[in-house]
Amino acid sequence: MNTPLTVNFAAGAGGPWRIERIAACRGESLAPAARLDIVEGRQPVATDGFTWQLRGFTGELRYTTSPERKALVAVQAPLGRAEARCAALIPIRKNAAWWDLAQDERRTIFEERSRHIAIGHDYLPAVARRLHHCRGLGGPFDFLTWFEYAPEAESAFDAMLQRLRATEEWCYVEREVDVRLVRVDNEK
Amino acid sequence: MNTPLTVNFAAGAGGPWRIERIAACRGESLAPAARLDIVEGRQPVATDGFTWQLRGFTGELRYTTSPERKALVAVQAPLGRAEARCAALIPIRKNAAWWDLAQDERRTIFEERSRHIAIGHDYLPAVARRLHHCRGLGGPFDFLTWFEYAPEAESAFDAMLQRLRATEEWCYVEREVDVRLVRVDNEK
């Protein structure tokens, strides 16, 4: 289950996800585009016709303890549910002060003080998510998180983001963009 | 200090490090080559003339606590010391069982039971080291560790490896290659 999967998020004219809006929460935004394509694999998507492209890879969770993971796995939903036609792509970069912290200091802020895992747990299984790491790949972000939910869960999703953004952990976020999407793969 | 640095280790006919021997400790070896070049930056080294090339990036330490890091920083030596003309490149891949563990389980095996940090500390400052992550980059290894030491520290370095390889953590290592090198950059 933990074999890294490389995923390219390519915004441009094509792809099954229509971009509804792009909002800069902190720092610079991303350029407007009509659609988003999601392509798995380490080869970059051909750049012709794309406005921007972000790449990351899945991998081991770096703060979650075994009991926390068991609790998440027991209730979380997979990506690709038919009813989950809304999505969000939230690229984040944390600042140097965060990365200068030791592992135990980051864990303390992440969960003991900010309750990141616990807050996310409150919105399961309505909100499905997949985290992609990209620190070290040379791009402008450290993480790309992809969320999927049904239209009726959007206000709950927004409430979750509001709680997370009010935490101590978020003091270390220096760039965050919120891209909202709707699946239109059946449209002509 | 924690901005990721991408490093390419390119074995072939050129480079300032002469490869003295390549030993497979576990799993498949790497092909023999005469020299190793170390090139920083995200562009791959031109593949002409290279026998193999491994790439990784530096980054935050994922198990070390703040007190442990302070103790390391207080005594560790930098790379590039004039007297440290011996080096080792040790690429490692851990198995699926390791990556399926949660963060706290990995930490417990890594330090509380295997004393990885404590063992390494015993050989500071004689052995300088830099860890490069490569899990997620699609190559055959998860980590590339580069060590530099003076010729008279070689037996201590070997003793350190012997202690590490006898730990519980090493039960999760499914591939390990030990490449030993000598700096010959002043040779014609």
**Residue B124 and residue B117: Cα distance in Å, rounded?**
11
**Residue B89 and residue B27: Cα distance in Å, rounded?**
16
Nearest to A109 by CA among A122, A119, A98: A98
Looking at chain B from residue 91 to 130, which residues have their Cβ under 8 Å from any Cβ of chain A?
A: 96, 99-107
**Residue B16 and residue B36: Cα distance in Å, rounded?**
7
CB nearest to A102's CB, from B42, B61, B106:
B61
**Which of the residues A1, A2, A98 would you substitute to probe the B interface, choosing the one with the greatest number of B C-beta atoms within 10 Å?**
A2
Q: What is the ipTM of this complex?
A: 0.91
CB distance from B32 to chain A under 8 Å? no
Q: Which helix (H) or strand (E) holds A159?
A: helix A154-165
The vertex-A124 CA angle with A35 and A106, nearest 5°, equals 90
Dihedral sign from CA coordinates of B65, A2, A182, A21: positive
Q: What number of C-beta contacts closer than 8 Å exist between A and B?
A: 76
CB nearest to A100's CB, from B2, B4, B135:
B2
The amino acid present at B164, given as its one-letter code, is L
- The pLDDT, as a whole number, for residue B188 is 46
Both tokens assigned to B96: 């699926």
Question: Which 8-state DSSP code applies to residue A152?
Answer: G
> Which residues in chain B belong to E strands, given as ranges?
6-12, 17-26, 35-40, 50-57, 86-94, 128-133, 143-149, 173-183
- The pLDDT, as a whole number, for residue A44 is 67
**Residue A129 and residue B28: Cα distance in Å, rounded?**
36
- The pLDDT, as a whole number, for residue B49 is 77
Contact A47, A53 (CB under 8 A): yes
The amino acid present at B11, given as its one-letter code, is A
Query: Which residues in chain B have their CB less than 8 angstroms from residue A106's CB?
Result: 60
- The pLDDT, as a whole number, for residue A188 is 46
**Residue B24 and residue B90: Cα distance in Å, rounded?**
10
Nearest to A111 by CA among A79, A67, A175, A76: A67
**Which of the residues A133, A135, A141, A143 would you substitute to probe the B interface, choosing the one with the greatest number of B C-beta atoms within 10 Å?**
A135
User: By three-state DSSP, how is residue B80 classified?
Assistant: coil
**Tens digit of pLDDT per residue, chain A (188 long)?**
578 999 999 999 999 999 999 999 999 999 999 999 999 987 766 667 789 999 999 999 999 999 999 999 999 999 999 999 999 999 999 999 999 999 999 999 999 999 999 999 999 999 999 999 999 999 999 999 999 999 999 999 999 999 999 999 999 999 999 999 999 975 54
**Residue A154 and residue A2: Cα distance in Å, rounded?**
29
CB distance from A43 to chain B under 8 Å? no
- The pLDDT, as a whole number, for residue A41 is 86
For residue B33, what are the CA distances in angstroms to A49, B12, B45? 42, 5, 16
Both tokens assigned to B114: 């295997």
Dihedral sign from CA coordinates of B23, B24, B30, B31: positive
Contact A160, A108 (CB under 8 A): no
Neighbours of A33 (CB within 10 A): 18
Nearest to B19 by CA among B39, B9, B30, B34: B34
**Residue B188 and residue B186: Cα distance in Å, rounded?**
6
CB distance from A42 to chain B under 8 Å? yes
CB contact (8 A) between residue A138 and residue B42: yes
- The pLDDT, as a whole number, for residue B43 is 73
Q: Which chain B residue shows the shortest CA-CA distance from A132? A: B136
Contact B160, B123 (CB under 8 A): yes
The list of chain B residues with pLDDT below 50 reads 188
Question: How far is C-alpha B2 from the chain's CA centre?
Answer: 17
Bond from prior residue into A4 cis (ω within 30 degrees of 0):
no
CATH class belonging to B59-183: alpha beta
Buried b (16+ CB within 10 A) or exposed e, A6-25: bbbbbbbeebebbbeebeee
Looking at chain B from residue 53 to 72, which residues have their Cβ under 8 Å from any Cβ of chain A?
A: 57-66, 68-69
Q: Which chain A residue shows the shortest CA-CA distance from B57? A: A136
CB contact (8 A) between residue A99 and residue B2: yes
Query: Which residues in chain A have their CB less than 8 angstroms from residue B1's CB?
Result: 100
Dihedral sign from CA coordinates of A55, A57, A58, A61: negative
